[in-house]
Chains A and B, each alone.
Chain A
């Protein structure tokens, strides 16, 4: 029998991790239970994290930052007033993640740890340039999300560490925060392509800063830097977006899978930019 351990605090967690090397962490289980059933993983023990209350915290106590606890469920985040007010981009993504049942069960930490290029919270967190805090018995460290996620299913998490939460900088007010997920149906569908976009415009409607993050078009979320660059100093009109879209299609590296072809993903990754077009005033 596989032990299932349920620590009630971080103090209880650390010795359990020491005594059960190789244990799998489980928060909501929406990924882990599927992989267990498919026989893809066979951990010697499971450590449930849902009893550790501080992992579910959401706060803005550190000036300029919003902290999102790894154990917060997607529903809890979606319903949190701070997320709704300060992170509309993330809220848009959470609203279309999985289904109500998956959102009730799954957590932000799980989405980070699973590190799927299709994780719906990841492209917003890349665009927001969030940092991931890792904790261990001996300390804490913070990594930029792009440094934390190394590849599909691979992260910088080391033995003895857990994902503690995400720190999102609140430095800017964005003119436009847009998330779009293209799935093969309207719920319970893994993204075929997703786009998270944050745009800052000056008073004349000219792009001052553009951050684009695309999911499901590469081994990790892709920030198409050339396309971002190409938008700077230009109005957010169809012509400039089409030019940026061409660059996006060059910067992504999608694959064929049963959901969609690489060709479709590449095409749509660019097309989605056109949704940002604003009528000229």
Chain B
């Protein structure tokens, strides 16, 4: 591999992956077409709840060009998958639990034959009453998604109380109350779910898939296929977007099953956009009810939060989403008394799953809009209210965890307070032209990193000096587009004194790289870099020592420079290629395992909540500001200015950091303004991106990103995660801006022109009335 640009220094652009991606040279999983390729696809249920009485596969099997038609009985291992609870069938064996359920798998010679064969499959489905509303799902007598479960439709329930809990609201001078209804959001990654797989003559199955979790996938797929995990090799190229939607198996089990029946030929499976929208997981829709109380000075005293997440038919990390939501439900404030209660509920709707933010955008939407209601009630400036309640280092957070690490919220608030977009807000609002209304809204948010106290949050890094004298970085964690792989190269280059041409990257491959957890949870760079830096350091020390031995010098006299080790006093150099020849392969390699620290507090004695991640110890913080203009004739709300000031610890690569902020804000503005996937009767209302709208460049304002760096002691070079803090704030910031413009909060998101116009008209203030 040759890098087209020589410059590769930590803290400076360009991203090492940029040119190959922009020029189309980089190969994503979907770009592979090995010779002799077969195509696999599935027949999906199309109904939300039904008993599977039978399948007639004969006509499909008889079609020329069809290699195999498979059903549940053909799954050799356990026909259930899932990350926490394995409750999702690979192929339906008893009943359909949502419209996207897979009934039968076809392997065929080409895509047209595949489509014809799928159409020839006859299904015999006995309709069952679906359960589509999460609150109704908890009522006695509701249809049960998993009748065998003793908890009925409740996937997980959690409660955290501190102080006197909700009872403390009685003693508050001011109490505000509000309800919020948040939509189902589609990930809409550019690269839909796909992969290809082949059973080798050696009996090993190789699979290349678009995934965030190759090591976990290997275990899951092995269990489904009844194979030893060692017989599976999973390879994870760069993803064309994932955002949580590939945190877990998508096509992998089906693809593995297809490969077992492909006679050794490679098999490809690639969901169309329509199939992706039908079958993939989404951001959980949520309903929240908040009661927040303070004293008459605006010091927060008590919060009661009631949260319901619609988790759909399967546990696609829904319990973990609920738990992270609970932990973040009270926002980044000191609140001595809280009563936080949440439920993740099974329904026959599309799967609620992991999605950037992971339960936090929903609770941040509720908490931050409730904060503005309180500010209005108290007659306080919303920034001032946040300032006086903001968590600082050393505080106990609302769920009872001492913040011993970096806590930069107050600094973010100061950065916004001093910024032109905030200081000029009153003048800007007053200058609204006739027929328009303007508002400026804030949201303060936090986001925890990693898996919490029970599930080991581990990375294993490996760095090798190759026989050719190049350093090869074995990256065990996926780069789904966020740029972490490039950061890893830059970090290795920093420690090892090398520029781009002296460094190579190996992307995740279960045969070559070491297990390193998922690319998720704002933990990717934090955890892996904490393994990589010591590995690179160990290799460096060994190389300096061995070079010193060779030159009859001492290690302290040696320096790693691009392509060589130099004896500093004499200027003599030993090329790395020559040094490599003096070393055994073991000596040329260093590895390091890192496990993220956990905090000792246990906000809940419930082991399920601990397993699902409560609590975290390291948080990033941000303050978001949105300027919104509302057109009185159409109700169209446009965000015309945006600012986010974020504490993500030290910023190693400003370009990658800004891209993460901008991407998170953009996706969050889509969530605020237009993204919504209703599922009347359990069917996604939108089938493609012509009607499921995500923002275009013209819908987004300039997004100003201010880094407010702190030093995170536990982080690699002081870094904290920055992948999710950008998406937690846009919806409440826009909601608060709109409330300022309209004089009232809108309970239901997204804030579409129709909802905004109706609010204007109910006021009797709409210009058209």
- Chain A positions near chain B (C-beta within 8 angstroms): 34, 99, 182, 184-190, 192, 242, 245, 258-261, 264, 267-268, 270-272, 274-275
User: Known contacts A258-B686, A268-B634, A272-B633: does B753 contact A185 (CB below 8 Å)?
Assistant: no
A258 partner, pick from B634, B685, B766, beta carbons under 8 A? B685
A-B contact count (CB 8 A): 63
Picked from A34, A242, A258, A267, the residue with its CB within 8 Å of the CB of B761 is A267
Q: In the docked arrangement, what's the CA distance between A268 and B752, Å?
A: 14
Q: Mark B686-698, 1 if CB is under 8 A from A, else 0.
A: 1000110101111
- Whether the pair A264, B696 counts as a contact (CB closer than 8 A) is no
Contact partner, A187, options B690, B691, B698, Cβ 8 Å: B698
Across the interface, A184 reaches (CB within 8 A) one of B697, B753, B758, namely B753
| Inter-subunit contact A182/B636 (CB<8 Å) | yes
Answer whether A189 and B693 are a contact pair too, CB < 8 Å, given A267-B757, A268-B633: yes
Q: Is the Cβ of B633 less than 8 Å from the Cβ of A275?
A: yes
**Interface centre among B685, B693, B752, B766, by most A CB within 10 Å?**
B693
**Chain B interface residue count: which class?**
20 to 34
Q: Known contacts A182-B636, A272-B634, A274-B633: does B753 contact A188 (CB below 8 Å)?
A: no
Q: A245, B768: Cβ atoms under 8 Å?
A: yes
Complex: how many Å from CA A271 to CA B768?
5
User: Which 8 pairs between the two chains have the least Cβ-Cβ distance?
Assistant: A271-B768, A186-B698, A271-B633, A264-B754, A187-B696, A187-B698, A186-B699, A185-B699
Inter-chain contacts of B758 with A (CB < 8 A): 264
Interface string of B672-704 (1 = CB under 8 A from A): 001000000000011000110101111100000
Please give, as numbers and ranges, the residues of chain B lying within 8 Å of A272 by CB-CB distance: 633-634
Q: How far is the CA of A245 from the CA of B766 in the complex (A)?
A: 14
Complex contact B696–A99 (CB within 8 A)? yes
Please report the C-alpha to C-alpha distance between residue A55 and residue B44 in the assembled complex, in whole angstroms. Answer: 45
Neighbouring A residues of B686 by C-beta, 8 Å: 258
Distance, CA A99 to CA B698, complexed state (A): 10
Q: Does B767 contact A (CB under 8 A)?
A: yes
A184 contacts B768, C-beta separation under 8 Å: no
A188/B633 contact (C-beta < 8 A), A267-B761, A271-B768 known = no
Contact assessment for B757 and A185 in the assembled complex, using a CB-CB cutoff below 8 Å: no
A246 to chain B minimum Cβ distance, whole angstroms, is: 10
Could you name 5 residue pairs across A and B whose Cβ atoms are closer than 8 Å? A182-B634, A182-B636, A184-B674, A188-B696, A258-B691
Within 8 A of A (CB), among B610-656: 633-636
Q: Output the nearest chain A residue to B274 by Cβ-Cβ distance.
A: A38
CB distance from A194 to the nearest CB of B (A): 11
Q: Is B768 touching A274 in the complex (CB atoms < 8 A)?
A: yes
A182 vs B757: C-alpha distance when bound (angstroms): 13
* A259 neighbours in B (Cβ, 8 Å): 691
Q: Which of B674, B761, B768 contacts A185 (CB 8 A)?
A: B674
How far does the alpha carbon of A261 sit from the alpha carbon of B754 in the complex, in Å?
A: 8
Interface contact B674-A267, CB-CB below 8 Å: no
From DSSP, what is the main secondary structure of chain B's interface residues? loop
Chain A residues with Cβ under 8 A from B693's Cβ? Answer: 184-185, 189
Q: Across the interface, which residues of B come within 8 angstroms of A260, CB to CB?
A: 753-754
Q: How far is the CA of A274 from the CA of B697 in the complex (A)?
A: 28
A103 to chain B minimum Cβ distance, whole angstroms, is 14
Which residue from A184, A190, A245, A271 sits with its C-beta under 8 Å from B752? A184
A189 to B753 alpha-carbon distance, docked (Å): 14
Give the shortest distance, in Å, between B216 (CB) and chain A (any CB).
Answer: 35
Bound: A187/B691 CA distance, A: 12
Complex CA distance for A187 and B690, rounded to whole angstroms: 11
Instruction: Give the docked Cα–Cα distance between A185 and B674 (Å).
Output: 8
Residue of A nearest to B767 (CB): A274
Apart from A185-B693, A264-B753, A271-B634: 18 A-B pairs, beta carbons within 8 A:
A99-B696, A186-B696, A187-B696, A187-B699, A188-B696, A190-B690, A242-B768, A260-B753, A260-B754, A264-B635, A264-B754, A267-B768, A268-B753, A270-B768, A274-B633, A274-B768, A275-B435, A275-B633
- Binary per-residue interface labels of chain B (726-769) against chain A in the complex, 1 for a CB within 8 Å, 0 otherwise: 00000000000000000000000000111001100100001110
Interface centre among A186, A187, A245, A272 (most CB of B within 10 A): A186
- In the complex, A102 Cα to B425 Cα: how many Å? 38
A268 CB contacts on chain B under 8 angstroms: 633-635, 753, 757, 768
Q: Which residue of B lies closest to A269 (CB)?
A: B768
A244 and B448 alpha carbons, distance in the complex (Å): 56
Find the B residue at minimum CB distance from A186.
Answer: B698
What is the chain B residue whose CB lies nearest that of A264? B754
Contacts of B768 in A (CB 8 A): 242, 245, 267-268, 270-271, 274
- Other-chain contact of B695, A34, A185, A190, A192 (Cβ < 8 Å): A185
Min CB gap A2→B, angstroms: 13
Min distance, Cβ B109 to any Cβ of chain A, angstroms: 17
The residue of chain B having its C-beta at the shortest distance from the C-beta of A190 within the complex is: B690
- Chain A residues near B752 (CB-CB < 8 A): 184
Q: Which residues of A contact B691 (CB under 8 A)?
A: 258-259
A254→B635 CA distance, assembly (Å): 18
Nearest chain B CB to A1's CB is how many angstroms away?
11
Complex-state Cα separation, A202 to B215, whole angstroms: 76
Nearest-CB distance from A93 to chain B (Å)? 16
Q: Which chain A residue lies CB-closest to B750?
A: A184
Tell me the smallest distance from the CB of A163 to a CB of chain B, in Å: 24
Residues of chain B within 8 A of A261, CB atoms compared: 754
A190 to B674, CA, bound (A): 14
Residue of B nearest to A265 (CB): B754
Contact with A along B387-431 (1 / 0, CB 8 A): 000000000000000000000000000000000000000000000
* Residues of B contacting A258 in the complex (Cβ-Cβ under 8 angstroms): 685-686, 691
Q: Which chain A residue lies CB-closest to B632?
A: A271
A211 to B369, CA, bound (A): 45
Give chain B residues whose Cβ lies under 8 Å from the Cβ of A190.
690
The minimal Cβ–Cβ distance linking B664 to chain A, given in whole angstroms, is 19
Contacts of B767 in A (CB 8 A): 271, 274
Q: Cβ of B635: which chain A residues have Cβ within 8 Å of it?
A: 264, 268
A233 to B117 CA separation, bound complex (whole angstroms): 67
Is A185 within 8 A of B696, CB to CB?
yes
User: Which B455-510 residues sit within 8 Å CB-CB of chain A?
Assistant: none
Bound together, the chains give a CA A260 to CA B758 distance in angstroms of 12
* Bound-state Cα–Cα, A182 to B696, Å: 15
Once the chains are docked, how many angstroms separate the CA of A267 from the CA of B752?
Answer: 15
**Shortest beta-carbon distance from B133 to chain A in Å:** 20
Closest to A182 in B: B634
Q: Which chain B residue shows the least CB distance to A96?
A: B698
What residue in chain B is nearest A259 (Cβ atoms)? B691
Question: In the bound complex, how far is the Cα of B767 from the Cα of A184, in angstroms?
Answer: 20
Complex CA–CA separation, A230 to B754 (angstroms): 28
Chain A residues near B674: list those with CB within 8 A: 184-185
CB neighbours of B754 from chain A (8 A): 260-261, 264
Give Cα A270–Cα B693 distance, bound, in whole angstroms: 25
Q: How far is the CB of B432 from chain A (nearest CB, A)?
A: 16
The CA of A261 and the CA of B755, in the complex, are separated in Å by: 11
A272 CA to B635 CA, complexed, in Å: 11
CA distance in complex: A31, B753 (Å)? 27
What's the nearest-Cβ distance from chain A to residue B537, in Å?
Answer: 49
> B23 → chain A, closest Cβ, in Å?
20
- CA–CA, A186 to B701, complex, Å? 12
Q: Which has the most chain A C-beta neighbours within 10 Å: B435, B634, B690, B696?
A: B634
Residue among B435, B636, B686 with max Cβ neighbours from chain A (10 Å): B636
Chain B positions within 8 Å of A99 at CB level: 696
In the docked arrangement, what's the CA distance between A81 and B315, Å?
Answer: 60
C-alpha spacing A186/B768, complex, angstroms? 22
C-alpha spacing A189/B435, complex, angstroms = 23
Q: Cα distance A74–B690 when bound, in Å?
A: 20
In the complex, what's the smallest C-beta–C-beta distance from A251 to chain B, in angstroms? 16
CB neighbours (8 Å) of B695 from chain A are 185
Query: How many angstroms between the C-alpha atoms of A184 and B673 in the bound complex?
Result: 9
Give complex CA distance A267, B759 in Å: 13
State in angstroms the CA–CA spacing of A187 and B636 once bound together: 14
Q: With a CB–CB cut-off of 8 A, which chain A residues contact B753?
A: 182, 184, 192, 260, 264, 268
Distance, CA A186 to CA B699, complexed state (A): 6
Pick from A192, A242, A258, A275 the residue with the most CB of B within 10 Å. Answer: A258
